[in-house]
Amino acid sequence: MTRLVGNSSMSRRLSGLAAALFMTLALLAAPADAASASAADTVHRFYDALLTTMRNGPSLGQQGRFKTLEPAVDRAFDLDYMTRMAVGPAWADLPAAQRQRLVDAFGRYVTATYADRFDSYSGEKLQVTGEQPYGAGVVVNSRIVKSNGEPITINYLMRQSGDKWQIADIYLTGTISELATRRSEFSSVLRREGPDGLINLLNHKADMLVASSARS
């Protein structure tokens, strides 16, 4: 069963930073009126990939789930944007090669986290429940209904990147910003160890999760 939803340690890590919604929206460039169905479709497709992976989770193992979800995460998430926002002002001073290494490491970490937390299926439902324009972006509302019937609200802030809509932030319980939490975590690592330290940390965390297939 997924450990993303209802996990108290995840909730603690995501606490207190919902105000970053306004920072994120201010940086979104897409017109809201173009979004209607396509923004929700992005979340639908990602949820379809998650459900498939969950249903085959035990047989795939952690590494198999990672490989299955990697292209789905790359399609659904605007990893370049999310990494840039999470790194913050330090991003402007980084060379292009280092920026790409950060994006790649962040993408690996996101994928490994989903592969670890959505590890099996026991009747959960992943539902898109609505969407609405919000500032210059679109918020897609969803919920994950656990096997005991408990619904958990997870909303997605969507950003138009080229001709597609991608996830720019995740709001656990509808209000707690994943992106803001990552920015808080990353800033302390950047101060102590610099960009290479953050790259190494993200890759190490991803490697540890991928190597945990024996738990599956």
Whole-number pLDDT of residue 84? 96
In a domain, 101, yes or no: yes
In a domain, 190, yes or no: yes
Which run of H or of E encompasses 143? strand 137-145
In a domain, 1, yes or no: no
- C-alpha to C-alpha distance for 57 and 51, rounded to whole angstroms: 9
In a domain, 155, yes or no: yes
In a domain, 216, yes or no: no
3-state secondary structure of 147: coil
In a domain, 40, yes or no: yes
Whole-number pLDDT of residue 3? 52
Q: DSSP per residue over 5-69, as a string?
A: TT-HHHHHHT-S-TTHHHHHHHH--S-GGG-HHHHHHHHHHHHHHHHHHHHTHHHHHHHHHHHHH
Q: Give average pLDDT by consecutive 10-residue segment, the chain, 216 residues.
A: 46 41 42 57 97 95 94 97 94 96 97 94 95 90 94 94 91 87 92 96 95 58
Whole-number pLDDT of residue 37? 45
Domain that holds residue 45: 8-211
Whole-number pLDDT of residue 6? 43
Q: Looking up tokens 């994120």, which residue turns up?
A: 24
Whole-number pLDDT of residue 129? 95
**Domains held by the chain: number:** 1
Provide the CATH number for the domain around residue 186: 3.10.450.710
In a domain, 104, yes or no: yes
In a domain, 132, yes or no: yes
3-state secondary structure of 71: helix
Neighbours of 33 (CB within 10 A): 8
pTM of the predicted model, to two decimals? 0.81
- C-alpha to C-alpha distance for 181 and 185, rounded to whole angstroms: 6
